[in-house]
Structure formats: C-alpha cells, structure tokens
Amino acid sequence: MSTSRSRGQLFRAARPLIAAVLCAPFATPFADSFTLAVQPVLTPDLTREAYAPLAEYLSARTGHDIRIETSRDFYSYWTRINREEFDFVLDAAHFTGYRAKNMNYQVLAAVPDTVSYSLVSGGDNLIFSPDELVGRPVATMGPPSLGAIRLEQLYDNPMREPLFRTADTASEAIDMVRDGRAVAAMVPTPMVAQFADLNTIQVSAATPHIAVSAAPHVPQEVRVAIQGLLARMSKDEAGNQVLTTIRLAGFELASETRYLPYAELIESSRAQLNPTGATAPKRITKHLALASPAE
C-alpha cells in the first residue's frame, strides 16, 4: 500500500468522529468566506481531506465559511502566493517569513518545536556524504519548497551537483528512492522514521515549525478569533480530536519576529524564482524536462 493511500484511509476513518464532537456554529452577524491554503506536501486531494477537519472546526467555532485551498505543486503554490490569493495560510517557515516581510501578513500561531529535512538513501545503498551524489538522481519536492532549498544548499558549485528530480509530494520522493528512480531524496525528517529501509545521509539545520498567517485584508476581529481558537485547540475536546487527526501537537501563539529571518532562504535561492510568476524555476527538473510553468 502506498504511503499516500494509507494516510487517506486514516483521514476518512477519523472524520466522522470529529463531526460528532464539533459544537454548533457560533452566531455571527456577518458571516463571510475565507480560504485556508496549505502547502502542497501532499496531493491536492489528500491535503483537502487531511485538513478539512481543521477548516470545519474553525468554521463551526467562528460561524464563517473557512475552506481548504490546495495547489498542485510548489511552483503553482509560489505563483499563487505572489498573486496574494490566500486569506489564511498554513506552511513552512520560509514562506511564512517571506509573506510577513514582503506582503504584510500577520503570523497568528505556530506548531511548537522545529522541523528539519533529511537527505536519505534506500535499502542497501549506503551513502555517507552528499558528495557521493554528484551526477546521480536525487528526488525532492520542487522549488521553492524547503526540501529543494535545503538540497540546493548542499552544493555550492553548480558544476558539481546531483541530477535534481522533482517529486510532487514528499511521499513520492520516498517512493522514487524505494523503486530505484532516484538514489536519494530530501524529505521532512519526521517522515524518515516511518520507513525502516531508509538510511539518513545528512540532516539539515532546523527551522521553526509550520505556522498559520493571515493576509492584511482579513478583518482584525476575524484574525483575533482564529488566533485564539488555534492557541486553545489543545485544551478543547473537539480541538484535540482535530489535532490528533491531522497529526499536529497543537498551536501556540507566534509572531513575525520569529519567522522573518527565514525569508532569506527564498531570497537567496539559486532557483531563479520570479515573484511575478512569469517564469518557472529553472534548476529542478522532472524526468529530464524543465518544470512546467503551467498552473
């Protein structure tokens, strides 16, 4: 069974339990609709299914209609970020910092602790240094994902790099290693323990965990309500059930100060990202073809 399929079965099994314990919607005189975008670490369908309980919980508690917004891949996601299409966003530290610095997004709450990325090989293919991967296929999610940036940082000489292979999701990057399409992959460290046949080559520096941020056009009272609900989720029965289902420890209050330094990870990337969305990243390829600029 693929990793994506097993996650989907877990989400489908747990959602009826969450629906049963959600409280009735609060009375809101002026209900509105808002998007909650989630970075595309999973496929769009699995992202929507995985985080629907969070949107349902926030909708029920605020009286607003909050829906999950997905993107096909990180290039499409990056393009939409720069078009300022999202009201609320749940994603990695470098995206959160970039929007706080350049788009005046407010950081509301974050998952506690930090997260890193691991460069891994599979099976009996023991690799002891990133240098051993020069000229060989290495999989990661496309730029400007944190995995792609962390992989890029291992190689300061463009003439001595792996053959970068784009995976649509972290699970696909692992599958590419396990079925021989790549000799290594850069994936979120928490995923590595799920696979006994993966060998860790190197672990990246840690960044703050994923955070929820709000666009400046979102009314202040709505931002305050969402921030309070996120911070209190772990103390609420229905909130705890949601957190268990989406596999997050909880949320704590957060601010822009913690995330602003990580905007530099995007701004210093060699992937030639164009904030206007006019051209696609030029360094990470998929099956020897440039990543498509189509959305």
Q: Read off the CATH number of the domain in which 171 is found.
A: 3.40.190.10
Task: Specify whether 214 is located in the same domain as 180.
Answer: no
Residue 188 resides in a domain: yes
Torsions phi, psi for 89 (to 5 deg): -140, 135
Residue 270 resides in a domain: no
Task: Specify whether 57 is located in the same domain as 20.
Answer: yes
Task: Specify whether 99 is located in the same domain as 39.
Answer: yes
Give residue for tokens 């400046």: 216
Residue 295 resides in a domain: no
Q: What is the mean pLDDT of the chain?
A: 86
Q: For residue 115, give the nearest of 196, 205, 18 by alpha carbon.
A: 205
Q: Is the pTM of this model over 0.85?
A: no
Please tell me the distance from the alpha carbon of residue 80 to that of residue 35, in angstroms, as a whole number.
Answer: 13
Q: Half-sphere exposure of residue 273, counting CA atoms within 13 Å on the CB side? A: 24
Looking at 66-70, 123-127, 139-143, which range is the least confident one? 123-127
Cα angle for residues 93, 99, 104 (degrees, 5° grid):
130
Task: Specify whether 66 is located in the same domain as 195.
Answer: no
Q: What is the number of structural domains in the chain?
A: 2
pLDDT in tens, 74-131: 999 999 999 999 999 999 999 999 999 999 999 999 999 999 999 999 988 899 999 9
Residue 189, domain extent: 117-205
Residue 46 has pLDDT above 70, yes or no: yes
Task: Specify whether 196 is located in the same domain as 69.
Answer: no
pLDDT in tens, 209-233: 999 999 999 999 999 999 999 999 9
